[in-house]
């Protein structure tokens, strides 16, 4: 997704894609109707009906499959981000059961790391950049857990839970970082654009008695394709574009921590 598209609002992106797709459909229609009259399809029989329904159905299945897959991926990443933020809050809470010095340092590090995720790491996710400072803050939390040596049975139980939570958190964070890219690869985008173009050309080759009705139908075909591309553009990269996943769960984590600190 280009920076220009990513900077648009949802309404602006929808209007842009509708205008482009409808205009392309009508341009192809009028060019074919004017210069390719010898290729116009005239068949009112059952074969023509079946043939006319086959192409839209195939293209519709392709777009439906890719759109649903992108939507499921977007929701899965969103759920993973929520789990990551909740696990980070659980880490803050489990540190409350550690000795006072470890507790103080550890909880401060968790707060500092959470703020870094929101303010430093999140803006770079859609740009496929790795924020080194945020990773160093996470590594300090990791070192704190690894260097702690419990001396009691209760301490061992708490420490094992802390290590488990931190391991879970690292997996969730890795999943977020790895999914900060386009779900639909360039070859798939190419296939979708070609499929849409083939459908437009296929629809333009038919000959109807009323050319105005045919033009309206072509505009509707273009508009439908524009809506499909709009959905794909929204869902392509979970962390970029008008519907990008926000850092709200981490902000909620900081708010929950603030509430606990006031008690």
Residues 6+ apart with CB under 8 A from 22: 219, 222, 223, 226
Tell me the pLDDT of the chain averaged across its residues.
88
Could you identify the residue written with the tokens 């059952």? 46
- pLDDT digit string, tens, across residues 108-146: 999 999 999 999 999 888 776 778 899 999 999 999 999
Rounded-to-integer distance, Cα 244 and Cα 226, Å: 20
Predicted TM-score (pTM) of the model is 0.83
Could you identify the residue written with the tokens 């798939």? 188
pLDDT-above-90 percentage for the chain: 59
Rounded-to-integer distance, Cα 9 and Cα 239, Å: 15
Please give the structure tokens belonging to residue 151: 């001396």
Task: Mark residue 248 as left, alpha or beta (left: phi above 0; alpha: psi -120 to 50; beta: remaining).
Answer: alpha
- pLDDT digit string, tens, across residues 175-196: 999 888 888 888 999 999 999 9
What integer pLDDT is reported at residue 209 of this predicted model? 78
Q: Find out whether 13 and 227 touch, Cβ atoms under 8 Å.
A: no
Q: How far is CA 83 from CA 87, 89, 108, 145, 259, in A?
A: 6, 10, 21, 21, 20
Helix-strand-coil percent breakdown of the chain, rounded to 5? 80, 0, 20
- pLDDT digit string, tens, across residues 2-30: 666 667 788 989 999 999 999 999 999 99
Rounded-to-integer distance, Cα 40 and Cα 24, Å: 19
């Amino acid at each position: 997704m280009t920076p220009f598209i990513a900077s648009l609002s949802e309404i602006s992106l929808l209007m842009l894609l509708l205008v482009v797709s409808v205009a392309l459909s009508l341009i192809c229609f009028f060019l074919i109707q004017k210069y390719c009259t010898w290729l116009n399809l005239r068949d009112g029989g059952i074969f023509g009906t079946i043939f006319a329904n086959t192409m839209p159905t195939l293209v519709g299945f392709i777009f439906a499959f890719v759109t649903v897959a992108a939507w499921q991926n977007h929701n899965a990443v969103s759920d993973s981000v929520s789990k990551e933020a909740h696990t980070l809050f659980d880490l803050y809470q489990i540190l409350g059961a550690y000795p006072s010095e470890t507790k103080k340092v550890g909880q401060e590090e968790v707060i500092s790391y959470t703020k870094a995720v929101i303010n430093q790491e999140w803006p770079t996710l859609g740009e496929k950049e790795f924020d080194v400072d945020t990773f160093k803050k996470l590594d300090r939390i990791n070192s704190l857990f690894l260097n702690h040596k419990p001396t009691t049975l209760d301490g061992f139980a708490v420490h094992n839970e802390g290590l488990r939570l931190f391991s879970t958190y690292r997996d969730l964070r890795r999943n977020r970082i790895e999914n900060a890219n386009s779900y639909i690869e360039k070859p798939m985008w190419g296939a979708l654009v070609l499929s849409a173009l083939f459908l437009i050309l296929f629809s333009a080759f038919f000959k109807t008695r009323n050319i105005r009705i045919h033009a309206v139908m072509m505009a509707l075909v273009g508009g439908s394709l524009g809506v499909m591309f709009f959905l794909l553009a929204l869902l392509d990269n979970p962390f970029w574009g008008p519907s990008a996943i926000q850092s709200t769960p981490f902000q909620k984590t900081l708010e929950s921590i603030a509430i606990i600190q006031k008690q």
